[in-house]
Structure 1
Amino acid sequence: MFWILQQSLATARGDITLVNYTALLTNGLTWRSLLVTLELSGGTLLCCLVLGIPLAFLLASTSPRTASRLMVLVLLPLWTSILVRTYGWLVILRRDGLINDLLVGSGLVSEPVPLVYNFTGTLIGMVHYMLPIFVLPTYAAMRDIDGNVIRAAASMGASLWHCFRTVILPLAFGGIASGSVIVFVYTLGFFITPAILGGGRISPIAIRIDRTLSTLQDWGGAAAFGVFLLLIVAVLGVTALGAARLIRSKPAAD
């Protein structure tokens, strides 16, 4: 990290200067890449919340034996390389892939839907990779909830949705927050999935770093991009932790 910081401040002659950061922050492509990065990370997190919380609740509601079998299916994608999985999605999502064959064959659409080499395909690949990682801490938090608390809420007339919203979610907040931070921060630096499923049309910060190195051979500019991304992760991480502590302290204060 110190070496990267040194590279970001050094010129080709070895002088210490902020020229790399000036060029970085005054370039409109930088802010566009940052926006794309945040959109991908935020979209992945939202999809993981929508899909992962019910899935974790289902796992926590079943018997330990059934939950173990289902957890194997949840973790099964992690047994395969992310590169192999990404190319697998490329085969499934392309114009002559499995999904478009089913859509066209069933008559739902008249021509193939563009599902790859765009934001949609990249998001699908990222969600597929991060969903098991989000489910693990969420499931662990829900599994540790005392069943007597849920039964007590039901005996007081709480419906399943009311019990889920007012009892289960607050008690599992720690696991949900941990999984959310992991997903959001981890996806800020995603490279393989946007590079393959984005087809060069999706350019988050990780792609910009690669192009700065491979095309321009600009180590100082690439290092400045790396430090810039590191600062973003640090700021977002501290903000998320502060928000989580604030939210958790309110019930205690009440």
Structure 2
Amino acid sequence: MSPSGPAAAATPAEKGGGSRGRARNRPFLLIVPALLVLLAVFAYPVAQTFVSAFTTPSPGTGNFAWFFGSPANVAVLTRTFSTALWATVICLCLAYPYAYLMTVASPRARATLLLIVMLPFWTSLMVRTFAWLVLLQDTGLVNGFLGLLGLGPVSLVRTQTGVLIGMVQILMPFMVLPLYSVMSGIDRRLLTAAQSLGARPLVALLRVFVPLSLPGVAAGATMVFITSLGFYVTPALLGSPSEALISQFMYTQVSGMLMWGRGGAMAVVLFAATLLLIGLLGLAMRAGRRGKAGAR
């Protein structure tokens, strides 16, 4: 007797399709261990911090009322975002010509420029920050050089200027590498074509090359801005208590005063404000692309 029922209805092609579907899912299994580690060491602590903001020391929104009820806390949050914005703008102004130079340099020079960019990744953050502390002090090398030019001495340590100098040096690779990745993929024949149609080299660069490099600008600026929001070591060593950032306030609340709920509330506010700002930036960029498409 021949088999009957649903099991008999399955054709060899269907069985092959099922095996192919399982084969397609196998690469996903390779990232399962990494996802489990990420959940254990990142997602769970972050979720616990968020929960503590609403439950410690008592359930409710008391921690958020404390945060927004203090003008000092709001000033610290504003200072944190303004410092991150300044660091992002300075990094972009310095990294854009550097990344462009990497695209036009010879292979040997490009390798040297890339090595210079990668050097900060091979040095401890503490070592770099203490090095800047030595260089920027009143009797340091930077003020000595400014004194020779008749411009010094200038107070650089315990100021926002010193904090920005240290942050920019650390964050430069996060801006240069995305820019170079996008710029290296731009067809330079487009610039030649624009110049052959009568555009000057600078006009061709601004009207053709710069718009094509905007994805790299957006990627680098986002990475630098988000990373700079959580800086602690550099502002703590190069800055002053009167110009502290929100990460230092979190450390004081959690480690010094054992107020986990208030520290969690600060983390939630910073996280929500960052997401809101990035969302608004994404909407603005999308509206700009739609406007360009409509103009065409």
TM-score bracket relative to the smaller structure: over 0.9
Match of 1:108 among 150, 154, 169: 150
Using the size of structure 1 for normalisation, the TM-score is: 0.93
Runs of 4+ aligned residues of structure 1 deviating over 3 Å after TM superposition are none
Q: Distance in 2 between matches of 1:158 and 1:75?
A: 36
Q: Deviations over 1:186-242 (max 9, x none)?
A: 111111111110032321111110111233221110111111111111111212222
SS of the counterpart of 2:102?
helix
Residue 144 (structure 1) shift: 0.5
Whether the 8 Å contact between 1:34 and 1:205 is mirrored in structure 2 is yes
Q: Counterpart of 1:229?
A: 270
How do 1:45-84 residues align onto structure 2 when only pairs under 5 Å count? 45-84=88-127
Offset from partner CA, 1:76-116 (integer Å, 9 cap, x none)? 12211111111110000001110112222x1514x521011
* 1:182 to 2:214 alignment: no
| Equivalent AA in structure 1 for residue 50 of structure 2 | L
Q: What SS does the corresponding residue of 1:190 show, helix, strand or coil?
A: coil
8 Å CA contact retained: 2:158, 2:240: yes
1:61-210 maps to which residues of 2 (within 5 A)? 61-104=104-147, 106=148, 108-109=150-151, 112-210=153-251
Which whole-Å CA distance do the structure 2 matches of 1:160 and 1:247 have between them?
25
C-alpha separation between the residues in 2 aligned to 1:168 and 1:3?
46
Select the residue among 193, 197, 217 that pairs with 2:258: 217
What TM-score, normalized to structure 2?
A: 0.81
CA distance in 2, matches of 1:142, 1:216: 48
Q: Distance in 1 between matches of 2:135 and 2:126?
A: 14
**Distance in 2 of aligned mates of 1:83 and 1:44:** 19
Structure 1: tracts of 5 or more residues without a match:
none
Match of 1:8 in 2: 53
Q: Give the total of aligned pairs.
A: 250
Identity of aligned residues (%): 33
User: Where does structure 2 lack aligned partners over 5 or more consecutive residues?
Assistant: 1-45
Structure 2 CA distance, aligned partners of 1:196 and 1:159?
47
- In angstroms, what is the RMSD of aligned CA positions? 1.4
